[in-house]
Amino acid sequence: MDTLQFLMDGFAVALTPTNLLFALFGAFIGTLIGALPGLGPANGVAILIPLAFTLGLPPETAMILLTSVYAGAMYGGRISSILLNIPGDEPAMMTCLDGYPMAQKGKAAEALAMSAIASFAGSLIGTIGLILLAPVLARFALTFGPAEYFALFMLAFATLGGITGKNPMKTVVAATIGIMISTVGIDIATGTQRYTFGVLKLYEGIDFILAIVGLFAISELLFFIEERAGAGRKMIKVGKLMLRPKEILAAVPTMFRGGILGFIAGVLPGAGASLGSFISYTMEKQYLGKKAHFGDGDPRGVAAPEAGNNGAASGALVPMLTLGVPGSGTTAVLLAMLISLNITPGPLMFTQNADIVWGVIAALLIGNVLLLLLNIPLVGFFVKLLSVPPMYLLPIVTMVAFVGIYSISHSAFDLYFMIAFGVAGYVLRKLEIPMVPIILGMLLGPEMEKNLGHALVISDGEWSILWASPLALGLWIVAGLGLILPYIIGPILRRRMNNAMKESPTSD
């Protein structure tokens, strides 16, 4: 079977000493980043991008590093959820519900171990799903013409806010800002300059790596300086691990269901890991009903969301790799990196850059094992690192960001741009305008414009081509639903999520 063959080749790429080392390093850093409250996977990957450039890594190594960080961050998020009752990142929110109560009962070590195993299971299920689904979808993507792509991008924008998005207007504002930034430069379809003001540096437009590092990494630094300068946090003590095989076995079906639900949520564009963990938790809660005591420190209440968010993390890679449409914020950042590496996601990547795609997939599998190994025995170490005052971490991150961006093009101009984006990111975050839609706008806006133009050229100016094929029509309908449903279901879901949070006795 071809897939198996490719996967074996992927392992050959991923198992080279350098790549293995970077996978380990990425998994470690990712866990740490995930564990630090406030630093999510998108920020984590954004912070590591400059490092990849600084070190001059070849594309497959760079992607392996970043996907390991991504997977690691999904693992790490649970640590502060359990110990501090502060989610390390958004997808780990649901883990607080049962994780923190467990920790309070003195079962922090068990909660951490259980969640690590659940993360492993979820991620494994997600990655297997990715392996099975991605090549099929990649072949299917060959049938996508400009009209279908246009509808697909509409779908991505429509579901952008996601069901958990807070303020739809702010999402729209953010996406618009992104699209506006993306129009700078020479328009590929006509050769016309737009908003370049005769500045040579602007002819190629604004590199979205600058925007990403600025918006995520630099603004994060500013936030850290504002809020968290000073000492580290107090931790709950992690006791001796007393997890019995029986308890793990009892949670296996939960992990399995969670992983699958999470994967499905991840594949849907825009939904992402938060939805994955939320769905897994609520479904599991309903499914088990009275047999469990969710919200009160049930190990399965830790297993379900962790399996869900890790499954979703792998699922979100599917549309990103096959169609070039990110399934979540972090995959948007990964997509930007791929494009910067001169690799075009889509069907062609599975044949022409097979070493990279399959190397990354194999690295996900290996990374998972590494993460499990890192997270069970070394969990105490991460807990200690959590209490390292940020004043030691920040200068390092800043330095890496500057060196990395400079090493891309040796241009100080780019550094000014990055800082400008950082300051803008700080202001926007103060205004609670989300960052991810900005990146998506920058990434997808030009693609959407291009495909609209192409569709119209092909049809000789006939607009109906946009919904002429059944596939395109189907995508439009889903996009329409994606736009309307959040208004109907969103408030219900959010109320439930809030209720769930409130029910947990120790919520912030």
Partner 1 sequence: MRNTVLSLCTQVNAARTPLPVNFMHKMPFKFFKGITPKNFRSTASLPSLVVTPSEGTPALSKLNGHKNKPEVTTMLIKRCLSFVATAAFSLSAMAWQPTGKVECIAPSDPGGGWDFTCRSAGNVLKDLDLVPGTVQTTNMAGAGGGVAFAHTISKRSEDDKLLVAASTATTTRLAQQQFPGMDASMVKWVGALGADYGVIAVGKDSRYKTLKQLMDGMKENPRSVKFAGGSARGGWDHLKVLIAAKAAGVDKLPSVPYLSYNNGGEALTQVIGGQVDAFTGDISEATGFMDSGDLRILAVLSNERLPGKFSEIPTAKEQGIDAVAPNWRGFYMPKDTSDEAQEYWTDALEKVYASDEWKAVMKKNGLIPFQPESGTFEEFINKQVADIEQLSREIGLLK
399 binds partner 1 (CB under 8 A): no
Task: List all residues 6 or more positions away from 383 whose beta carbon is below 8 Å from its beta carbon.
Answer: 79, 83, 235, 238
Q: Give the binding range for partner 1 (CB under 8 A) out of 18-26, 350-358, 361-369, 379-387.
A: 350-358
206 binds partner 1 (CB under 8 A): yes
Beta carbon of residue 144, minimum distance to partner 1 (angstroms, whole number): 7
CB nearer to partner 1: give 55 or 376: 55
CB nearer to partner 1: give 144 or 281: 144
d(CA 440, CA 270): 10
CB nearer to partner 1: give 221 or 436: 436
136 binds partner 1 (CB under 8 A): no
CB 298 within 8 A of CB 171: no
Among 291, 410, 412, 432, binds partner 1 (CB under 8 A): 410
Residues 45-74 that bind partner 1 (CB under 8 A): 52-54, 56-59, 62
CB 82 within 8 A of CB 238: no
342 binds partner 1 (CB under 8 A): yes
Beta carbon of residue 159, minimum distance to partner 1 (angstroms, whole number): 23
CB nearer to partner 1: give 186 or 236: 186
Residue 30 Cα distances to 33, 161, 259, 400, 447, angstroms: 5, 25, 20, 16, 30
d(CA 282, CA 94): 9
Beta carbon of residue 337, minimum distance to partner 1 (angstroms, whole number): 9
Please choose, from the candidates 163, 502, 197, 233, the residue with its C-alpha nearest in 3D space to the C-alpha of residue 388. Answer: 233
Residues 445-464 that bind partner 1 (CB under 8 A): 446, 450, 453-454, 457-458, 460
CB nearer to partner 1: give 165 or 347: 347
232 binds partner 1 (CB under 8 A): no
Q: Give the binding range for partner 1 (CB under 8 A) out of 21-29, 264-272, 290-298, 346-354.
A: 346-354
- 500 CB-side CA count, 13 A: 23
Among 18, 167, 351, 507, binds partner 1 (CB under 8 A): 351
Q: Give the binding range for partner 1 (CB under 8 A) out of 13-21, 368-376, 392-400, 403-411.
A: 403-411
CB 327 within 8 A of CB 318: yes
Residues near partner 1 (CB under 8 A), total: 55
Beta carbon of residue 206, minimum distance to partner 1 (angstroms, whole number): 7
Site string for partner 1, 165-204 (x = CB under 8 A): --------------------xxxxxxx------x-xx-xx
CB nearer to partner 1: give 61 or 80: 61
Beta carbon of residue 191, minimum distance to partner 1 (angstroms, whole number): 4
Residue 343 is given by DSSP the state -
CB nearer to partner 1: give 276 or 347: 347
Q: Which long-range contacts (CB under 8 A, 24 or more apart) does 84-88 make?
A: 84/37, 84/233, 84/235, 84/236, 85/506, 85/507, 85/508, 86/37, 86/508, 87/37, 88/34, 88/35, 88/36, 88/37, 88/39, 88/40
Q: What is the 3-state secondary structure (H, E, C) of 223-243?
A: HHHHHHCCCCCCCCCCCCCCC
d(CA 217, CA 1): 42
Among 38, 145, 232, 295, binds partner 1 (CB under 8 A): 145
d(CA 22, CA 15): 10
CB 264 within 8 A of CB 315: yes
Among 26, 165, 329, 347, binds partner 1 (CB under 8 A): 347
Task: List all residues 6 or more positions away from 186 whose beta carbon is below 8 Å from its beta carbon.
Answer: 192, 193, 194, 196, 203, 204, 205
150 binds partner 1 (CB under 8 A): no
CB nearer to partner 1: give 17 or 191: 191
CB 77 within 8 A of CB 35: yes
Please choose, from the candidates 431, 345, 397, the residue with its C-alpha nearest in 3D space to the C-alpha of residue 167. Answer: 431
- Residues lying near partner 1 in the complex (CB under 8 A) are found at 52-54, 56-59, 62, 142-146, 185-191, 198, 200-201, 203-209, 336, 339-344, 346-348, 351-353, 407-411, 446, 450, 453-454, 457-458, 460
